[in-house]
Amino acid sequence: MIKVLIVDDSAFMRNTLSGMISSDPEIQVIGIARDGIEAVEKVVSLKPDIVTLDVEMPRMDGIEALQRIMAQHPVPVLMVSSLTTDGAEVTLD
């Protein structure tokens, strides 16, 4: 079973991703986070196999969260971005 943590400030995106991911019987959504601060905390406590991480979020954006996650508890991360211009450039870098 692949354990996934979904990180996005948009309830719509969290629900959409959760629904898509949960449709696969081999994948389990083990938690959600609404911003980068929650993401860093939940990566440590939940120990997911992979994280979906939004780029633009309040309190701590996805880029900073990614840096902290990789420094503290490296795990594969899938960057997710919608309706962004600044974040798209940063994600590509």
2 vs 56, which has greater pLDDT? 2
81 vs 17, which has greater pLDDT? 17
Distance CA 29, CA 60 (A): 22
Among 47, 52, 48, 43, CA closest to 20: 52
pLDDT tens string 53-76 = 999 888 999 999 999 999 999 999
What pLDDT band is residue 89 in, cutting at 50, 70 and 90?
A: low
Can you give the pLDDT at residue 93?
52
CATH architecture of 2-92: 3-Layer(aba) Sandwich (3.40)
Does the structure show a pLDDT above 90 at 79? yes
Domain map (residue ranges) of the chain: 2-92
What pLDDT band is residue 12 in, cutting at 50, 70 and 90?
A: very high
Average pLDDT, the chain: 90
Can you give the pLDDT at residue 82?
72
Among 3, 24, 10, CA closest to 81: 10
Distance CA 3, CA 67 (A): 21
pTM of the full predicted structure? 0.86
